[in-house]
Amino acid sequence: MASSNIAVQTAASELHPVPLTLEGLSVLHQMFRFRWAEWRKVGPSRQQEVAREALAMLTGPEEAGQSAVYSMLGHKGDLMLVHFRNSFDELNAAELALSRIELQDYLEPTHSYVSVIELGLYDSSVKLFRQLSERGVAPFSDEWNRQLEETMERQRQAMRSRLYPKIPDSRYLCFYPMDRKRGEDKNWYTLPIDERQRQMEEHGMVGRRYAGKVQQIITGSIGFDDWEWGVDLFAADPLIFKKLIYEMRFDEVSAVYAAFGQFFLGVRCPVQKLGEWLGIGS
């Protein structure tokens, strides 16, 4: 029995370590401090012109992409803009478009984050890698690559709505970046893939208990920004963020292997009401 267990553990440790991922929309978060002192020097009619120009820029045709505006809480900024686009080129175009309107004269960048919507396929990866290993299919061979692409294409079709979502209309947004630890003591990336899959499944079970109360969008940023992932949480009640994140801190994957960056909290400001946020007419 002992030798059998050792054989199973050895086979598991020899599975390909990198889980498959699916990528969807490209995402840009922009945080700004607003130059209120300068803005108050502008006459009412000119303020209205600036607001109309910004409204036109932020409400382009749906096929051009989505942008949402949030009024931030705390000292980290006043406005947060979130852009969903089909590519990084389109994100760059959105960033340039904002830079070219007059409202930009009153915006001081404080932070930004670039990423892409990502779905990690731990379950599918472990099952597929085990099947291919048992069949003796060599990693990165033609057969290996064909099987992976077939699996990913099926998943892309099944998960399309999650890869290309609408920005939720929820009143509150909590955004934060995070890493998996890679230190000398604890290193997520040296764990066997089936152990990582087990921990992620346990982690996901907590999130599923909050279904209907919070919508989560995970973005990957390895190679794009300073952290490995970004997390957007959308909800009608901001206390849900505290309860969900606190409960998840007790998961093994978070308690042992997670590191978190700054948290940014925003209240949705419908683009059509940007003038009210700017104080025009008040």
What Cα–Cα distance (Å) separates residue 26 from each residue in 116, 121, 154, 162, 269?
4, 19, 21, 13, 22
176 is catalytic: yes
**Helix/strand/coil for 192:** coil
Task: Report how far Cα 215 is from the mean position of its chain's Cα atoms.
Answer: 11
User: Residue 78's closest CA among 114, 42, 32, 16?
Assistant: 32
CB 122 within 8 A of CB 193: yes
User: Residue 98's closest CA among 274, 277, 247?
Assistant: 274
The catalytically annotated residue of 122, 176, 210, 257 is 176
State both tokens at 158: 């099944």
Residues forming the active site: 176
